[in-house]
């Protein structure tokens, strides 16, 4: 019996067609997985099913009846969604968290004994061994994760969506989760399972739908496909038609990292190098350690083994300040949280890292700073009325230009760009690529982190694929998107891969 | 700039001007130069302590200890002079004490990672304990050196020295915030600590610096209070906590949206000072003054939050 049927689901965001007439159905007691590249539309689809977004067009049927959810609350009793984030009240006990929002009580008093009994029954049913009498904060991280999931299952919704549930779980915990999901299926619950880990998906799912560019390009029975076939379905054919890129005039190594290992940390034996004039892409799934590696170097670290040289000198840093002094700068992913000071205007933001260089006896040289700001605004074509405009009034693209423009005249050898084009319109995206290419042409080494394989393949000279805090493979032009995707998401999760 | 934007942007200053004009017309004796100087003298101590708190707010922290630190400085400077310590050394020792409180606050916030609200609540209580340990609860009356009393009571020409000191502190604070590298970094740190850290700003240092300036300003206020009264009592500066908060909050609504600034704080102090003075001249009861002040603060904060919402709506 068809539990859920979605017909022609379309979602138009300003400037982006996120979902294009997606058909999808889910049987009772079925695990139906959805896979696809970053930006293929998976999370938009989930949000529509969960009532977060309203579809621009299309209809959703539950048990044959058309439904229209007005809010996530409205959808929650029918469709439970397990997000990647923990949603627990920290100081409540496990039991109180389970019952949150549906407490049992008489005359306004909580029926503690009754809740305890029901919670224990529920835990026994799933063979879980979590102490529900302890505050959530005192539970182990994996148990907290599990409790978040159990909280949703506790309401016994007929449909449960798992959105990347294993991202924060250990191997053992993942195995427990898979057992739980299979038990749910046996009990007749229908499950939508979203994951980047293809082996996991192939192992667990009954059917798999592949989303690409907002379209459902195929729905296949899991036993009938291979990992390679799935990856091939996920890849955009246009992607293979790469722009011929001028072989860059590669200089000597600017940054060279050899066997970088943080004892007791997650990084081990990281080897890579970035040459002058080169744009080096870092591909990997969220949680693969791309950003963490950049931040480890830029924000500084105390204990490590291995050898890091920047422009021929040994590099060691304990703070961004020291990194900047040695010639490493970073344009962070979270523009508003880490790139800009919201209460500052454009000129003030641009000045932050270069105040000392434009000062006299501790006083700002305002005219020089103003001239510098105006030069940056002009050169990067930042659309502002004046440099005294508040940054919060700028578009995402212009905010990004301010965030990177502040480093403009820094004599840095290596620039880290973390997701520089996320949430930016197409036009500004190509401007940002232009800026990166120009900087490379001027001899800088560009460290380019992106979730968008398309842009990596288009812009980068070389690409490192990362997985589980290791660099798994290095790719040279011409790139094979298939090979890169396979390196990023293929093979067994949690197992070490040989480069 | 539309009319409504003009009013939200400069509303606080306009409110002050309107208040001033209304009192000038309606209250006999208000516009008298001696009375105007009187207002400045009355707000001088409050302004200085609030300028310190302004620096704390600029780095994005709170300070609940400043009034007690001021009281502590006021009794210690008196006590030291009674024991024959030269005035200059007594004053410097008190300023150092204020700096030490600020430093302790700053280190507990930045190194131990406790919220400033809690840290300064605790250090404020400790300061209070030290006051009673030192004074046993009695006020200090004594002959103090004339040179010391000049700060609080002297005049240069028609201008009270206290008012001149207030303007000097205001000038230094304003120039520092507006024109120096340190000032820009203090504001960056308070504006977005993560972004500033990643831009190479030593955010811990600037947080500590903000709190130290708050402590020094509080100690200076305590010293000046003793100089003005010629005596020191254990709770002398206690009233500055609420009023200091009030005028800094008022000041945040002047000039730049939600950004504390020395000039804004001065405008806030002028409003409260004018209100106190005018209402007193009108013969209003003391409790009426408090009620009116409370209402004005609510009004100002409402305006300020409307401004902030308007800005956020545009992101």
Percent of chain A with pLDDT over 70: 93
Mean pLDDT of A291-295: 92
**Looking at chain A from residue 389 to 428, which residues have their Cβ under 8 Å from any Cβ of chain B?**
390, 392-393, 406
**Looking at chain A from residue 157 to 216, which residues have their Cβ under 8 Å from any Cβ of chain B?**
none
> Looking at CA atoms only, how far is residue B312 from chain A in angstroms?
7
Mean pLDDT of A172-186: 86
Q: Per residue in B241-262, pLDDT tens?
A: 999 998 998 888 777 767 889 9
C-alpha A421: how far from chain center: 13
> Looking at CA atoms only, how far is residue A336 from chain B in angstroms?
8
As given in the structure block, the two tokens for residue B170 are: 């205001």
In angstroms, the CA A466 to CA A480 distance is: 16
Nearest CB neighbour to B181, from listed A298, A319, A364:
A364
**Looking at chain A from residue 266 to 305, which residues have their Cβ under 8 Å from any Cβ of chain B?**
298-299
> Looking at CA atoms only, how far is residue A128 from chain B in angstroms?
36
The secondary structure of residue A223, as a DSSP letter, is G
- Residue numbers in B near A318 (CB within 8 A): none
Which residues lie across from B140 on neighbouring strands?
B232
Residue A96 has pLDDT above 90, yes or no: no
Say if the Cβ atoms of A341 and B198 lie within 8 Å: no
Burial of B99 per CB tally in 10 Å (0-12, 13-18, 19+): middle
- Residue numbers in B near A393 (CB within 8 A): 311, 314-315
Say if the Cβ atoms of B195 and A298 lie within 8 Å: no
Nearest CB neighbour to B201, from listed A299, A332, A352:
A352
Residue A496 has pLDDT above 70, yes or no: no
Task: Label residue A495 by pLDDT band (50, 70, 90).
Answer: very low
Which residues, including other chains, have CB under 8 Å from residue B24's CB and lie 6 or more apart?
A: B30, B31
As given in the structure block, the two tokens for residue B223 are: 């010293």
> Looking at CA atoms only, how far is residue B237 from chain A in angstroms?
32
Say if the Cβ atoms of B194 and A351 lie within 8 Å: no
3-state secondary structure B104-141: HHHHHHHHHCCCHHHHHHHHHHHHHHHHHHHHCCCCEE
Which residues lie across from A220 on neighbouring strands?
A208
**Looking at chain B from residue 254 to 273, which residues have their Cβ under 8 Å from any Cβ of chain A?**
256-259
* Whole-number pLDDT of residue A153: 83
Residue in B228, B210, B225 with CA at minimum distance from that of residue B94: B225
Q: What is the pTM of this model?
A: 0.82
* Whole-number pLDDT of residue B11: 73
In angstroms, the CA A249 to CA B133 distance is: 75
In angstroms, the CA B246 to CA B144 distance is: 33
Phi-psi region of B145 (alpha: psi -120 to 50; beta: other; left: phi over 0): beta
- Higher-pLDDT residue of B315 and A182 is A182
* Whole-number pLDDT of residue A491: 61
**For tokens 């059917």, what's the residue?**
A207
Exposure letters A17-48 (e unless 16+ CB within 10 A, then b): ebbbebebbbeebbbbbbbbbbbbbbbbbbbb
- Residue numbers in A near B183 (CB within 8 A): 364
C-alpha A486: how far from chain center: 18
Say if the Cβ atoms of B184 and A337 lie within 8 Å: no
* Residue in chain B lying closest to A416 (CA): B198
- Cβ(A420)–Cβ(A400) under 8 Å? yes
As given in the structure block, the two tokens for residue A88 are: 């627990």
Least confident of A383-392, B103-112, B291-300: B291-300
* Whole-number pLDDT of residue B9: 66
- Residue numbers in B near A384 (CB within 8 A): none
Cα angle B291, B295, B296; round to 5: 115
- Higher-pLDDT residue of B160 and A458 is B160
- Higher-pLDDT residue of A189 and A126 is A189
* Whole-number pLDDT of residue B252: 84
* Whole-number pLDDT of residue B314: 42
Mean pLDDT of chain B: 91
Q: Per residue in A403-432, pLDDT tens?
A: 999 998 888 899 999 999 887 877 788 889
Highest mean pLDDT among A159-173, A431-445, A476-490: A431-445
Say if the Cβ atoms of A355 and B184 lie within 8 Å: yes
* Whole-number pLDDT of residue B225: 97
Least confident of A262-276, A424-438, B299-313: B299-313
Nearest CB neighbour to B199, from listed A337, A352, A363:
A352
- Higher-pLDDT residue of A129 and A345 is A345
Q: Per residue in A430-473, pLDDT tens?
A: 889 999 999 999 899 999 999 888 889 889 999 999 988 899 99
Percent of chain B with pLDDT over 90: 74
Residue B8 has pLDDT above 80, yes or no: no
H helix or E strand, kind and range, residue A212: strand A207-212
* Other residues' Cβ atoms within 10 Å of the Cβ of residue B205: 15
Interface predicted TM-score (ipTM) of this complex, two decimals: 0.86
* Whole-number pLDDT of residue B4: 58
- Cβ(A182)–Cβ(A192) under 8 Å? no
Residue A128 has pLDDT above 80, yes or no: no
Percent of chain A with pLDDT over 90: 44
Nearest CB neighbour to B185, from listed A324, A339, A355:
A355
Residue in A254, A242, A230, A240 with CA at minimum distance from that of residue A489: A230
Residue A492 has pLDDT above 50, yes or no: no
- Cβ(B87)–Cβ(B34) under 8 Å? no
- Residue numbers in A near B197 (CB within 8 A): 319-320
Peptide bond into A478 cis (omega under 30): yes
Mean pLDDT of A475-493: 80
* Whole-number pLDDT of residue A71: 81
3-class SS at A15?
coil
Say if the Cβ atoms of A298 and B198 lie within 8 Å: yes
* Whole-number pLDDT of residue B315: 36
Least confident of A209-218, A236-245, B33-42, B129-138: A236-245
- Higher-pLDDT residue of A48 and A97 is A48
Residue A115 has pLDDT above 70, yes or no: yes
Say if the Cβ atoms of B195 and A340 lie within 8 Å: yes
| Mutation for testing the B interface, residue in A350, A355, A357 having most B CBs under 10 Å | A355
> Looking at CA atoms only, how far is residue B278 from chain A in angstroms?
35
* Residue in chain A lying closest to B312 (CA): A392
Residue A85 has pLDDT above 70, yes or no: no
As given in the structure block, the two tokens for residue B79 are: 């006590």
Residue B181 has pLDDT above 90, yes or no: yes
> Looking at CA atoms only, how far is residue B111 from chain A in angstroms?
15
Inter-CA distances, A29 with A7, A160, A175, A303, A422, Å: 20, 11, 20, 50, 37
- Residue numbers in B near A406 (CB within 8 A): 199
Residue A355 has pLDDT above 60, yes or no: yes
As given in the structure block, the two tokens for residue B217 are: 């300003």
- Residue numbers in B near A338 (CB within 8 A): 192, 194-195, 198
Residue A246 has pLDDT above 80, yes or no: no
Mean pLDDT of A381-402: 90
Residue in B129, B13, B115, B111 with CA at minimum distance from that of residue B62: B115
* Whole-number pLDDT of residue A197: 82
Mean pLDDT of A478-491: 83
3-class SS at A26?
strand
Say if the Cβ atoms of A406 and B199 lie within 8 Å: yes
* Whole-number pLDDT of residue A81: 86
In angstroms, the CA A148 to CA A126 distance is: 14
Please count the residue pairs, one from chain A and one from chain B, whose beta carbons lie less than 8 angstroms apart. Answer: 88
Task: Label residue A249 by pLDDT band (50, 70, 90).
Answer: low
Does B181 lie at the interface with A, CB-CB under 8 angstroms? Answer: yes
* Whole-number pLDDT of residue A493: 42
In angstroms, the CA B108 to CA A205 distance is: 52
* Residue in chain A lying closest to B204 (CA): A319
| Mutation for testing the A interface, residue in B60, B198, B201, B255 having most A CBs under 10 Å | B198
- Residue numbers in B near A351 (CB within 8 A): 184
* Whole-number pLDDT of residue A145: 80
C-alpha A309: how far from chain center: 29
Least confident of B139-143, B202-206, B232-236: B139-143
């Amino acid at each position: 019996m068809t539990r859920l049927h979605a017909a022609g689901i379309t979602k138009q965001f300003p400037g982006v067609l996120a979902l294009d007439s997606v058909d999808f159905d889910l049987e009772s007691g079925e695990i139906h997985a959805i896979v696809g590249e970053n930006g293929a539309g998976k999370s938009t689809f989930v949000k529509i099913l969960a009532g977060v977004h309203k579809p621009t067009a299309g209809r959703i049927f539950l048990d044959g009846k058309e439904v229209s959810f007005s809010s996530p609350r409205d959808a929650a009793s029918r469709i439970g969604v397990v997000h990647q984030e923990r949603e627990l009240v920290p100081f409540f006990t496990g039991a109180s968290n389970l019952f949150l929002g549906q407490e049992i009580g008489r005359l306004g008093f909580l029926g503690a004994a009754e809740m305890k009994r029901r919670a224990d029954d529920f835990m026994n049913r799933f063979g879980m061994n979590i102490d529900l009498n302890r505050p959530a904060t005192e539970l182990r991280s994996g148990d907290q994760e599990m409790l978040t999931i159990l909280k949703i299952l506790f309401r016994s919704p007929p449909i449960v969506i798992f959105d990347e549930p294993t991202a924060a779980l250990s191997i053992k915990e993942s195995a427990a989760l898979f057992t739980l999901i299979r038990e749910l299926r046996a009990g007749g619950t229908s499950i939508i399972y979203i994951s980047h880990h293809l082996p996991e998906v192939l192992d667990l799912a009954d059917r798999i739908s592949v989303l690409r560019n907002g379209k459902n390009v195929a729905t296949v029975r899991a036993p009938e496909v291979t990992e390679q076939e799935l990856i091939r379905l996920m890849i955009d054919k246009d992607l293979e038609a790469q722009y011929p890129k001028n072989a860059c005039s590669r200089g000597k190594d600017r940054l060279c990292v050899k066997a970088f290992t943080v004892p007791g940390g997650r990084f081990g034996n990281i080897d890579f190098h970035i040459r002058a004039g080169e744009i080096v892409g870092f591909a990997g799934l969220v949680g693969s350690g791309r950003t963490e590696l950049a931040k480890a170097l830029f924000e500084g670290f105390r204990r490590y083994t291995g050898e890091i040289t920047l422009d021929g000198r040994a590099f060691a840093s304990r703070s961004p300040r020291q990194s900047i002094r040695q010639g490493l700068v970073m344009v962070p992913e979270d523009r508003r949280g880490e790139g800009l000071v919201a209460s500052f205007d454009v000129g003030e933001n641009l000045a932050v890292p270069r105040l000392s260089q434009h000062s006299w006896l501790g006083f700002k040289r305002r005219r020089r700073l103003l001239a510098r700001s105006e030069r940056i605004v002009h050169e990067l074509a930042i659309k502002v009325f004046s440099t005294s405009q508040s940054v919060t009034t700028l578009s995402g693209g212009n905010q990004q230009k301010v965030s990177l423009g502040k480093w403009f005249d820094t004599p840095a050898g290596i620039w880290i760009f973390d997701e520089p084009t996320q949430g930016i319109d197409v036009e500004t995206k190509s401007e940002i690529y232009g800026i990166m290419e120009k900087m490379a042409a001027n001899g800088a080494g560009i460290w380019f982190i992106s979730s968008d394989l398309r842009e990596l393949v288009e812009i980068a000279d070389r690409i490192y694929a990362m997985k589980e805090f290791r660099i798994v493979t290095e790719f040279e032009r011409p790139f094979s998107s298939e090979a890169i995707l396979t390196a990023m998401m293929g093979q067994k999760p949690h197992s070490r891969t040989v480069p | 700039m539309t009319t409504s934007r003009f009013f939200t942007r400069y509303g606080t200053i306009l409110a002050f001007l309107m208040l001033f004009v209304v009192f000038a017309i309606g209250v006999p004796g208000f516009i008298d130069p001696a009375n105007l100087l009187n207002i400045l003298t009355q707000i001088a101590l409050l302004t200085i302590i609030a300028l310190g708190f302004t620096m704390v707010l600029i780095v994005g922290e709170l300070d609940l200890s400043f009034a007690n630190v001021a009281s502590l400085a006021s009794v210690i400077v008196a006590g030291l002079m009674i024991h024959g310590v030269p005035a200059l050394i007594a004053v410097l020792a008190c300023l150092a004490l204020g700096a030490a409180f600020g430093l302790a606050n700053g280190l507990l916030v930045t190194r131990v990672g406790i919220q400033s609200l809690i840290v300064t609540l605790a250090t404020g209580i400790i300061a209070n304990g030290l006051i009673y340990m030192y004074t046993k609860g009695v006020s200090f009356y004594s002959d103090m050196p004339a040179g010391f009393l000049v700060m609080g009571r002297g005049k240069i020409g028609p201008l009270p020295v206290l008012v001149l000191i207030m303007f000097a502190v205001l000038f230094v604070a304003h120039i520092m915030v507006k024109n120096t590298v340190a000032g820009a970094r203090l504001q960056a740190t308070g504006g977005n600590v993560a972004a500033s850290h990643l831009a190479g700003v030593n955010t811990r240092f600037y947080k500590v610096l903000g709190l130290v300036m708050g402590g020094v300003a509080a100690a200076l206020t305590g010293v000046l209070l003793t100089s003005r009264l010629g005596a020191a009592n254990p709770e002398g500066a206690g009233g500055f906590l609420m009023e200091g908060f009030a005028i800094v909050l008022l000041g945040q609504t002047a000039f730049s949206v939600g950004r504390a600034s020395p000039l804004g704080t001065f405008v806030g102090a002028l409003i409260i000072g004018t209100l106190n003075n005018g209402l007193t001249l009108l013969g209003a009861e003391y409790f009426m003054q408090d009620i009116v002040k409370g209402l004005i603060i609510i009004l100002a904060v409402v305006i300020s939050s409307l401004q902030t919402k308007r800005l956020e709506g545009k992101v």
